[in-house]
Structure 1
Amino acid sequence: MRVLVVEDDQFHASYLQDTLAEALPEVTEIFHASDGAEGEEEARQGGIEAVVMDLQMDRRNGIEAARTIWAERPQSRILFWSNYADEAYLRGIARIVPEDSAYGYVLKTASRDRLRLALRAVLVEGQIMVDREIHRLQKQGAAPRNRLDDSEFGVLLDLALGLPDKLIAERRGMSLRTVQNRLLSLYDKLGVTVDPEDEAVSLNKRVRALNRALVTRTINVETLEAAQRDLDAWLGGRG
């Protein structure tokens, strides 16, 4: 088995390579790329079957690199690892993973034994595995009733990209009233409140919603970059 490690930190890359060699005797070759763009090229040329992918990297992030790799080789097995348990990352991965493909998500703070388990489960056994610590941290950050559903999350992304309600409705296949109801719901779940009696302060709810989404890591820069790419493609088709 040929495995590609995509990691911009040399210490973490070496740690991954050592753990792979130790935990998976099935691995015959290990390749290394220092960012997402280089990872895409290595995967394209090296006959790579499995990938361990950092998420935050300069030049091209892990979500974008995984999207390209899966578009060209949907059978690829990818284990993401990150310092962050962002809901945005899990949603971003779920939006791009091909049907029946194996993937996983483990934190860099996980023990070596936990990393070995994730490597074997995803890269060798073809399972879907999200580290339980990620779920635990997400539960701490938001109560289940405050989590956005997929429809609300899509409207939030469009709001963050600057789309007016009418264009959001067209893009999402909703009525204008439905979009406005989704906005009210996500305002409530994100804790966007404006006191109507406080005339001294006039706050823009859309901007406040974006602020709260970033602070709570409901969305992040990588998610917005991927969303912009999707929007550009949609606008191109619309034109």
Structure 2
Amino acid sequence: MKVLIIEDDQFHATYLQEALAEALPEVTEIFHAADGVAGEEEARQGEIEAIVMDLQMEHRNGIEAARTIWAERPQSRILFWSNYADDAYLRGIAQVVPEESAYGYVLKTASRDRLKLALRAVLVEAQIIVDREIHRLQKRGTAPRTRLDDSEFDVLIDLALGLQDKSIAERRGMSLRTVQNRLLSLYDKLGVSSDLDEHLTLNKRVRALNRALATRTINIETLEAAQRDLKTWLAGRR
């Protein structure tokens, strides 16, 4: 069994190599790539289907690298290993993972034993596993009633990209009224109105983006990927 580690921190890469050797005696070769671009090429050339990957990397983040790898090899099993429990990451993974693939998401703060269990569950047993600690941190930061649903999140992404309501409606296949309702809902859930001075007139779209970044509902990696998707959509319109 060949495993690819995609990790830009050499200390973390070495730690993963040791954990893999302990947890998976089936492993015959371990490869290492220092960023997402190199990881995509290594997975392609080595025909590797078991991967452990960081999410935050220069040149190409983990979700973008996974999108490419899964597009070419949809049965690849990927365990994401990250310092961050952002809701944006979970949504991003859910949007690109093929139905036939297995994946996992574990924090770098997880114990070695928990990491080893996740490695076996995802890479060998092809299970889908998300560390309980990720869900716990998300629940602590966001009450269920304030969690954005998928359509609200899509509208938020398009708002962050600078699209006006009419363009959002066209891109998402919604009516203009639906887009406006989604905006009102996400303003409420992000606390845009409640955190404003009633005597000031501030731009709610900008405030929504500010709140979304502050609460890590979206992050820079999400916006970078969304910008690439927007360029593809715009090219298709022409």
Fold-level similarity (TM above 0.5): yes
Equivalent positions of 1:99-178 (< 5 A) are 99-178=99-178
Structure-2 change in CA distance of 1:173 and 1:10 (3 Å):
same
3-state SS of paired residue (2:79):
strand
List runs of 5+ in structure 2 lacking aligned partners: none
3-state SS of paired residue (2:71):
helix
**Distance in structure 2 (CA, Å) of the matches to 1:60 and 1:198:** 42
**Distance in structure 1 (CA, Å) of the matches to 2:196 and 2:91:** 34
> Equivalent residue for 1:237?
236
3-state SS of paired residue (2:218):
coil
Offset of 1:197 from its aligned partner? 8.1
Equivalent positions of 1:6-21 (< 5 A) are 6-21=6-21
**Distance in structure 2 (CA, Å) of the matches to 1:189 and 1:18:** 43
State the 4+ residue runs in structure 1 displaced beyond 2 angstroms.
194-199
What TM-score comes out, normalization by structure 1 length? 0.97
> Equivalent residue for 2:214?
215
**Distance in structure 2 (CA, Å) of the matches to 1:197 and 1:208:** 12
**Distance in structure 1 (CA, Å) of the matches to 2:43 and 2:36:** 10
> Equivalent residue for 1:205?
204
Offset of 1:196 from its aligned partner? 9.0
**Distance in structure 2 (CA, Å) of the matches to 1:198 and 1:129:** 45
Offset of 1:225 from its aligned partner? 1.0
Q: Deviations over 1:96-126 (max 9, x none)?
A: 0011210000000000000001000000000
Q: For the aligned residues, what is the CA RMSD?
A: 1.2
Which amino acid in the other structure matches residue 135 of structure 2?
H
Matched residues, number? 238
Q: Identity of paired residues, percent?
A: 83
Offset of 1:144 from its aligned partner? 0.3
**Distance in structure 1 (CA, Å) of the matches to 2:228 and 2:74:** 20
Structure-2 change in CA distance of 1:177 and 1:73 (3 Å):
same
> Equivalent residue for 1:58?
58
3-state SS of paired residue (1:120):
helix
What TM-score comes out, normalization by structure 2 length? 0.98
**Distance in structure 2 (CA, Å) of the matches to 1:68 and 1:228:** 16
Instruction: Check conservation: 1:194, 1:203, Cα contact below 8 A.
Output: no
3-state SS of paired residue (1:74):
coil
Instruction: Check conservation: 1:146, 1:190, Cα contact below 8 A.
Output: yes
**Distance in structure 2 (CA, Å) of the matches to 1:193 and 1:78:** 40
List runs of 5+ in structure 1 lacking aligned partners: none
> Equivalent residue for 1:47?
47
Instruction: Check conservation: 1:83, 1:108, Cα contact below 8 A.
Output: yes
